[in-house]
Structure 1
Amino acid sequence: MLHVLNPVMNNTKWNELRLGMYGLAQTPAWSTLSTNGYKSRPDREWYYHFSIGGYADIIHVDILVENAAHRETVRRVLQHIHVPGEETPEGFRVFGYLQDGQAADYL
């Protein structure tokens, strides 16, 4: 069965996310899942590393938080940016694509 991916983010929103996380005193780690199935290792460098290669192939990015206070700080930034995603036990997942029939709330 072919899974159709529908984009839910654009370069502007990805850049808002990148700069929002970069601007935090305690930057969270991130890891992406690409359309080719590659899952990146966690990385904390948002300014250059996150944008290398562009955003077109990011299915989702997992944002990893350190503790409850860090979670709240990251949540406030994500709510301000208003991105499609969900809260996870490790932090947050921001979607770049959704499959046909998949729904997502906005953080």
Structure 2
Amino acid sequence: MSEPYEYDGHRWEWTGNDAEDASHLHSVMNNTKWEELRHAMHALDAVIPWRCKALGRSYISDWDTDWFYHFRLGGYNDIEWTEIRFKHDAAEAVMTALARLSLPYESSEFGVKVFGYIDDTGRLKVDRP
């Protein structure tokens, strides 16, 4: 469960009861890699929406475009995956950043999902520069 955090003067804390079994998942990211992703997406000249799924819960955040501040709120320990949505004109820049950072991802309906935890690492695509 994520730690409570404050944003715009409000205290936020997850209190839902939609628990999922996450005991079979293995971590494939760390705080450094999440920070590298955050910085890379923030540095792009395009608006790149993202949303996250919370580990062990059915909760998926709303789409957001603030990589600088919002993405790191609450920390990275309970991000099962982050989905990144991009238009064709930003695809090359996003995919180049993912390859440069060697992040675990797969294609999704909207763009790509970068995984923090996964059950089968054999299905992941990790581009190497």
Question: Taking structure 2 as the reference length, what is the TM-score of the superposition?
Answer: 0.75
Distance 1:31 1:51 in 2: 12
Structure 1: 4+ residue segments shifted above 2 A: 100-103
Q: Which amino acid aligns with 2:79?
A: I
1:3–1:99 Cα contact (<8 Å) kept: no
User: Aligned in 2, Cα 1:101/1:30: closer, same or farther, shift over 3 Å?
Assistant: closer
Task: Give 1:51's aligned amino acid.
Answer: R
Q: Which has the larger radius of gyration?
A: 2
2:31 aligned partner: 11
Equivalence for 1:37: 58
Q: Which runs of 5+ in 2 are unaligned?
A: 1-20
Provide the aligned length of Structure 1 versus Structure 2.
106
In 2 relative to 1, CA 101–92 (structure 1 residues): closer, same or farther, beyond 3 Å?
A: closer
Q: How far off its partner does 1:10 sit?
A: 0.2
Q: Equivalent of 1:20, from 28, 33, 40?
A: 40
For 1:44, the aligned partner's letter is T
1:63-102 CA-to-partner distances (Å, cap 9, x unmatched) read: 0002x22111111111111100012231111000012576
The 8 Å contact of residues 33 and 59 in structure 1, kept in 2 or not, is answered as yes
Higher relative contact order (CA 8 A, sep 6+): 1
Q: Please, what is the CA RMSD of the aligned residues? A: 1.8
Q: 1:52 aligns with which of 70, 73, 76?
A: 73
The TM-score, its normalising length taken from structure 1, stands at: 0.90
Q: CA deviation at 1:27?
A: 2.9
